[in-house]
């Protein structure tokens, strides 16, 4: 059995961005952060991840929001439980407003070799619209700090499809990002997530969604432009440059097992899926009492797992190996989801090539809809 990967969730942010529905809180209380670091130590001791998991990913929220002293304690806790120096890929998410040279060095010295910087946009008005706590120049400074510390694998997160955005404007963002010589790029289409400020503004008519055709042109232009610059689209939103694909995400998309620690983090083990309590207080209290901090859990049937395998995997450029799914789970998606398969192929959104289901050029922007067709047939 392959070992589980490790995900560590740091749930603090300096602001809550209007589009974001991740489990994050604006907290300015040192006692809460100290408690978080202590409870994380307890949770790691209780779940006992492999000392050398295939990958480690520290995300959020904003891991770099912790001040230098607490950031150092946090890294020391991780190193108590995991031999970071021996892990094949160790990633940390870094936000431009809170990363500095000291924290970049602390992370590198602790064993982090890959950093994912949330740039989102390089346009001042767009950054304000997104509630970002940094300006465009801070993204360049963050990349420079990481490089100076020794990081050779830096990814940038960008968003497109912002209200009123055109292909020309998006190309300028892509060019600015490329000028920073990233090793990997994630380009996400802005989605209106339930419960966010952005979705409320949209419903109340204050923010209009962008033109769908322009969004589709931006999506296709992204692939074309990045391909020409040596970045391979290995997933609908992810582009591998010199740093190669993100192994942690690939592990997740291939339905690997993972242990998630921290408030709201999810874990997966052979069809069992649990999600930790989301609130920092509730999560910490459970951990301190020696209880599992699980908020919700479910055990998926083999049929559900096969549908999820297609849903997770079809966004990868290589597609989903349906034969491998059948062998692994004992449910052949070609027989179990014949109807969904027929619908997505008849609509021209996906193609069965040999053993695999692959999105067509037409289907690429609709990867989620293709995957959802299988979930609906469970």
Q: Which residues bind ligand SAM (CB under 6 A)?
A: 19-20, 22, 59-62, 93, 95, 118, 120, 157, 159, 188, 190-191, 193
**Chain-centre distance of CA 2, in angstroms?**
21
The 3-state secondary structure of the chain, one letter per residue: CCCCEEEEEECEECCCCCCCCCCCEECCCHHHHHHHHHHHHHHHHHHCCCCCCCEEEEEECCHHHCCHHHHHHHHHHHHHHCCHHHCCEEEEEECCCCCCHHHHHHHHHHCCCEEEEEEECCCHHHHHHCCCCCCHHHHHHHHHHHHHHCCCEEEEEEEECCCCCCHHHHHHHHHHHHHCCCCEEEEEECCCCCCCHHHHHHHCCCCCCCCHHHHHHHHHHHHHHHHHCCCEEEECCEEECCCCCCHHHHHHHCCCCEEEECCCCEEEECCEEEEECCCHHHHHHHHHCCCCCEEEEEECCHHHHHHHHHHHHCCECCCEEHHHHHHHHCCCHHHHCHHHHHHHHHCCCEEEECCEEEECCCCHHHHHHHHHHHHHCC
Closer Cβ to ligand SF4, 8 or 329, answer by number: 8
Cα separation of 364 and 235, whole Å? 9
Pick what 193 binds: ligand SAM, ligand SF4, none; C-beta below 5 to 8 Å, kind-dependent. Answer: ligand SAM
Closer Cβ to ligand SF4, 118 or 293, answer by number: 118
Closer Cβ to ligand SAM, 162 or 309, answer by number: 162
Write the burial class of residue 265 (CB in 10 Å: 0-12 exposed, 13-18 middle, 19+ buried): buried
Pick what 129 binds: ligand SF4, ligand SAM, none; C-beta below 5 to 8 Å, kind-dependent. Answer: none
Beta bridge partners of 350: 359
- To ligand SAM, the closest distance from the beta carbon of 192 in angstroms equals 7
Closer Cβ to ligand SAM, 264 or 363, answer by number: 264
Residue ranges that bind ligand SF4, judged by CB under 6 A:
13, 16-17, 20, 22, 24, 60-62, 95, 118
Pick what 188 binds: ligand SAM, ligand SF4, none; C-beta below 5 to 8 Å, kind-dependent. Answer: ligand SAM
Closer Cβ to ligand SAM, 93 or 321, answer by number: 93
Q: Nearest-CA neighbor of 6 among 120, 116, 83, 121?
A: 83
- To ligand SF4, the closest distance from the beta carbon of 182 in angstroms equals 18
Pick what 190 binds: ligand SF4, ligand SAM, none; C-beta below 5 to 8 Å, kind-dependent. Answer: ligand SAM
- To ligand SAM, the closest distance from the beta carbon of 196 in angstroms equals 7
CB–CB of 346/363 below 8 Å?
Answer: no
- To ligand SAM, the closest distance from the beta carbon of 93 in angstroms equals 5
- To ligand SF4, the closest distance from the beta carbon of 118 in angstroms equals 6
- To ligand SAM, the closest distance from the beta carbon of 236 in angstroms equals 12
Pick what 92 binds: ligand SF4, ligand SAM, none; C-beta below 5 to 8 Å, kind-dependent. Answer: none
Pick what 16 binds: ligand SF4, ligand SAM, none; C-beta below 5 to 8 Å, kind-dependent. Answer: ligand SF4
Alpha-carbon radius of gyration of the chain: 21
- To ligand SAM, the closest distance from the beta carbon of 251 in angstroms equals 17
Pick what 159 binds: ligand SF4, ligand SAM, none; C-beta below 5 to 8 Å, kind-dependent. Answer: ligand SAM
The residue sitting closest to ligand SAM, measured at its beta carbon, is 118
Closer Cβ to ligand SF4, 95 or 255, answer by number: 95
Pick what 123 binds: ligand SF4, ligand SAM, none; C-beta below 5 to 8 Å, kind-dependent. Answer: none
- To ligand SF4, the closest distance from the beta carbon of 198 in angstroms equals 11
Pick what 191 binds: ligand SAM, ligand SF4, none; C-beta below 5 to 8 Å, kind-dependent. Answer: ligand SAM
Closer Cβ to ligand SF4, 157 or 257, answer by number: 157
Closer Cβ to ligand SF4, 74 or 366, answer by number: 74
Closer Cβ to ligand SF4, 249 or 356, answer by number: 249
**Would you state the structure tokens that stand for residue 233, as one six-digit string?**
């689209």
- To ligand SAM, the closest distance from the beta carbon of 99 in angstroms equals 11
């Amino acid at each position: 059995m392959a070992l589980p990967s490790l995900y560590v969730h740091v749930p603090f942010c300096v602001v809550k961005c209007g589009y974001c529905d991740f489990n994050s809180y604006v907290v300015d209380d040192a006692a809460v952060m100290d408690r978080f670091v202590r409870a994380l130590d307890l949770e790691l001791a209780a779940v006992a991840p492999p000392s050398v998991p295939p990958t480690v990913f520290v995300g959020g929220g904003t891991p770099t929001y912790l001040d230098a002293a607490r950031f150092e304690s946090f890294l020391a806790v991780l190193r108590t439980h995991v031999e970071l120096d021996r892990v094949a890929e160790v990633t940390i998410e870094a936000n431009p407003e809170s990363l500095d040279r000291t924290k970049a060095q602390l992370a590198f010295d602790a064993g982090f070799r890959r950093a994912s910087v949330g740039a989102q946009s390089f346009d001042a008005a767009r950054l304000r619209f997104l509630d970002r706590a940094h300006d465009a120049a801070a993204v360049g400074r963050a990349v420079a700090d990481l490089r100076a510390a020794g990081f050779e694998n830096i990814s940038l997160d960008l968003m497109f499809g912002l209200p009123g955005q055109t292909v020309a404007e998006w190309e300028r963002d892509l060019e600015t990002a490329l000028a920073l010589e990233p090793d990997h790029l994630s380009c996400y289409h802005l989605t209106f997530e339930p419960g966010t400020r952005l979705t409320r503004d949209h419903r109340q008519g204050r923010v209009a969604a962008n033109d769908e055709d322009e969004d589709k042109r931006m999506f296709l232009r992204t692939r074309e432009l990045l391909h020409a610059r040596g970045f391979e689209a290995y997933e609908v939103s992810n582009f591998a440059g010199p740093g190669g694909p993100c192994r942690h995400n690939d592990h997740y998309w291939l339905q690997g097992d993972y242990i998630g620690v921290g408030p709201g983090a999810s874990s997966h083990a052979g069809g069992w899926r649990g999600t930790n309590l989301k609130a920092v207080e509730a999560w910490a209290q459970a951990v301190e009492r020696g209880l599992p901090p699980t908020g919700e859990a479910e055990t998926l049937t083999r049929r559900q797992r096969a549908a999820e395998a297609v849903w997770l995997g079809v966004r990868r450029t290589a597609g989903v190996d349906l034969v491998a799914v059948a062998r692994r789970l004992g449910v052949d998606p070609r027989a179990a989801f014949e109807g969904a398969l027929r619908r997505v192929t008849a609509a021209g959104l996906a193609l069965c090539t040999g053993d695999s289901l692959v999105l067509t050029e037409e289907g690429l922007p609709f990867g989620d809809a293709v995957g959802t067709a299988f979930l609906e047939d469970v």
